[in-house]
């Protein structure tokens, strides 16, 4: 555990941010979004994993949103596995909306029913993700 | 002084390791395995204001928001994790020549790429969507180093560099053959190499002019010629330097450096179907017409 904590610290301290595509050409930093919904599927695909959630609006209509995540290798390195976020789980997701104005976003964090926040700066050394390794 | 001591230590370690390099039957030093590449692409000084997402070192980046609520959480860039270096090591990273990182642009080409960048957000057309977002092959520099590891294989007389990113590869021939004819143009170029002691020297030409160096340098010309030096310094580390000679854009060659660090043993290359897995074009331009099947 100490070994992985040390590695994680090195990464957190030194890793530059990069992604398969530039953020600003695709997503709008001025349109932060937060949705509460039920996970319908998690696609573990390169270059980005995608999480899909059914979100019920104030009018009762259900809309399927999807959010871009990191690539599968990144999720895997933090200890996540294919069944980590099963369909049917209720989650809150924060992110930034796509420029096409659809129900699509860049996912920043996922908050599980027990309050644990995934994929954010809070998933640091000692978090469940790191310990799984 | 501290830096001097660190570099001296590296040299001593390197010299000792070089004498005992494990070798393959064809005589090559054995470097096979999975690695992350680190530190290669650095910002030039006087970098242009990039309207898409510049690197985290650029204060204009939306990823560098002071409130900590930038769009990309820390989960990005951990797919290329590496094992802990053996002892303290210093690495040369980013643009190393010229020392002031001011690249020797032809003035008219510098202006042209600055104008090109201004048309990337919103993209005025498909040509102004960055190459990786269009799932083109990444060339030597855009293998998404933080997220995607590299694997070296060494069949007899060759070094094969497999990119996890976009599942591309480079076959580096060690048999002294000439480069391909000039009319054959490739994203990954044509690579001829040889071992000079514990350094693999690779000469690459025949690029197609559709290769980016960074988000601030969104294309290099088809006159690009690179000379890479992969220097094995210990069982887990390969120091890397590349000379970028592109007379189409620059008045003289310049150099950038980084290093490969061996990945943990359980690191795997995963399927990478870029065009199917990417939704970038839809998120920018909207849905294409429905396809009936």
* pLDDT tens digits along B25-43: 999 999 999 999 998 988 8
pLDDT of residue A62: 96
Q: How far apart are CA A83 and CA A90, in angstroms?
A: 15
Choice between A20 and A25, residue whose per-residue pLDDT is larger: A25
Pairing of strands B190-196, B169-173: parallel
Whether residue B133 and residue A43 make contact (CB cut-off 8 A), yes or no, is no
**pLDDT means over runs of 10, chain B (293 residues):** 50 65 94 93 84 56 52 44 57 94 97 93 88 93 86 97 94 97 98 97 98 92 98 94 98 97 86 88 81 64
- Nearest to residue B232, comparing CAs of B4, B19, B7? B19
pLDDT of residue A14: 33
pLDDT of residue B198: 95
Q: How far apart are CA B157 and CA B159, in angstroms?
A: 7
Chain A's closest residue to B117, CA to CA, is A25
Indicate the number of domains in chain A.
1
Using a CB-CB distance cutoff of 8 angstroms, which residues of chain A are in contact with residue B77? 11, 15-18, 70, 74
Chain B's closest residue to A109, CA to CA, is B73
Choice between A15 and B137, residue whose per-residue pLDDT is larger: B137
pLDDT of residue B234: 92
pLDDT of residue B75: 40
- Residues 24-43 of chain A with CB under 8 A from chain B are 24-27, 29, 32, 43
pLDDT of residue A122: 25
pLDDT band at A114 (very low <50, low <70, confident <90, very high): confident
pLDDT of residue A74: 73
Nearest-CA distance A47 → chain B (Å) = 6
**Is the per-residue pLDDT at A11 higher than 50?**
no
Chain A's closest residue to B124, CA to CA, is A25
Q: Compute the mean pLDDT over every residue in chain A, rounded to the nearest whole number.
A: 72
3-class DSSP state of A126: coil
What DSSP assignment string belongs to B224-269?
-EEEEEEEEEETTEEEEEEEEE-TTTBSS-EEEEEEEEEPPTT---
Mean pLDDT of A36-47: 92
pLDDT of residue A70: 79
What DSSP assignment string belongs to chain B?
-HHHHHHHHHHHHHHHHHHT--B-TTS-B---EEEEEES---PPTT----SS---TTSTT-GGG-TTS--SS-TTTT-TT--PPPSS------EEEESTT----B-HHHHHHHHHHHHTBTTBSSGGGS-TGGGT---TTT-S-TTT--EEEE--TTEEEEEESGGG-EEEEE-S-PPPPPTT--BSS-EEEEEEETTEEEEEEE-B-S-B-SSSSS--B-TT-EEEEEEEEEETTEEEEEEEEE-TTTBSS-EEEEEEEEEPPTT-------HHHH--HHHHHH-PPPP---
Domain span at residue A41 reads 2-131
Q: Which CATH number characterizes residue A98's domain?
A: 2.40.50
């Amino acid at each position: 555990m100490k070994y992985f904590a040390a590695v994680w610290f090195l990464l957190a301290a030194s890793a530059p941010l990069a992604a398969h595509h530039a953020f600003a050409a695709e997503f709008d930093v001025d349109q932060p979004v937060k949705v509460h919904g039920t996970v319908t599927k998690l696609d573990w695909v390169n270059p980005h994993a995608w999480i899909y959630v059914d979100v019920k609006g104030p009018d009762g209509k259900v809309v399927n949103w999807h959010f871009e995540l990191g690539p599968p290798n990144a999720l895997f390195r933090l200890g996540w596995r294919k069944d980590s976020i099963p369909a049917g789980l209720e989650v809150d997701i924060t992110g930034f909306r796509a420029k096409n104005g659809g129900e699509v976003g860049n996912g920043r964090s996922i908050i599980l029913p027990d309050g644990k926040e995934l994929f954010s700066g809070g998933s640091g050394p000692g978090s469940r993700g790191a310990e799984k390794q | 002084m501290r830096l001097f001591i660190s570099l001296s230590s590296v040299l001593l370690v390197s010299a000792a390791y070089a004498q005992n390099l494990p070798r393959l039957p064809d005589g090559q030093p054995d470097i096979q395995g999975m690695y992350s590449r680190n530190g290669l692409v650095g910002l030039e000084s006087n970098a242009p204001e990039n309207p898409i997402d510049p690197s985290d070192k650029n204060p204009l980046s939306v990823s560098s928001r002071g409130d900590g609520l930038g769009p990309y959480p820390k989960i990005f860039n951990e797919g290329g994790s590496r094992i802990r270096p053996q002892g303290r090591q210093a690495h040369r990273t980013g643009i190393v020549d010229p020392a002031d990182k001011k690249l020797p642009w032809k003035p008219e080409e510098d202006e042209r790429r600055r104008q090109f960048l201004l048309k990337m957000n919103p993209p005025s057309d498909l040509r102004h969507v960055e190459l990786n977002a269009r799932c083109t092959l990444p060339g030597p520099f855009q293998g998404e180093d933080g997220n995607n590891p590299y694997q070296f294989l060494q069949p007899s007389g060759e070094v094969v560099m497999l990119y996890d990113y976009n599942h591309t590869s480079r076959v580096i021939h060690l048999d002294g053959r000439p480069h391909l004819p000039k009319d054959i143009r490739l994203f990954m170029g044509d690579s001829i190499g040889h071992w000079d002691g514990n350094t693999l020297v690779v000469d690459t030409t025949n690029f197609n002019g559709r290769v980016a160096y960074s988000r601030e340098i969104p294309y290099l010309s088809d006159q690009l010629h690179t000379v890479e030096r992969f220097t094995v310094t210990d069982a887990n580390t390969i120091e890397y330097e590349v000379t970028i000679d592109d007379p189409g854009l620059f008045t003289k060659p310049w150099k950038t450096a980084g290093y490969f660090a061996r990945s943990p043993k359980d690191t795997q290359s995963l399927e990478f179907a870029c065009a199917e897995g990417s939704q970038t074009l839809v998120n920018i331009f909207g849905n294409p017409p429905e396809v009936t099947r």
